[in-house]
Amino acid sequence: MWVRTDPAAAGQANIIASHSLNREAMLAHVRLYRTIMYGDSPLSRAEREAIAVTVSAANDCHY
């Protein structure tokens, strides 16, 4: 259903590359992702990943 049309999508996870047809949205997504998952926060990296796992499991999202 999707293709990697943009060089910026190279090396990105499928989930990000999936919106390479809308380059601005893809770049904004990458920036948001890096900010909330890797940026400064009182939450540890593991705590943030635990939230990710909880939400994805509750949504029964395998990816």
Q: How far is CA 55 from the centre of its chain?
A: 14
Instruction: Tell me if 9 sits within 8 A of 20, measured CB to CB.
Output: yes
Is 10 a binding residue for other proteins by CB under 8 A? The answer is no
To the nearest whole angstrom, how small is the minimum distance from the Cβ of residue 27 to other proteins?
A: 15
Q: Does 56 bind other proteins (CB under 8 A)?
A: yes
Q: How far apart, in whole angstroms, are the C-alpha atoms of residue 42 and residue 12?
A: 27
Distance CA 2, CA 17 (A): 8
Number of residues this chain uses to bind other proteins (CB under 8 A): 34
Residue 1 within binding range of other proteins, rule CB under 8 A? yes
Q: How far is the CB of 8 from other proteins (least distance, A)?
A: 17
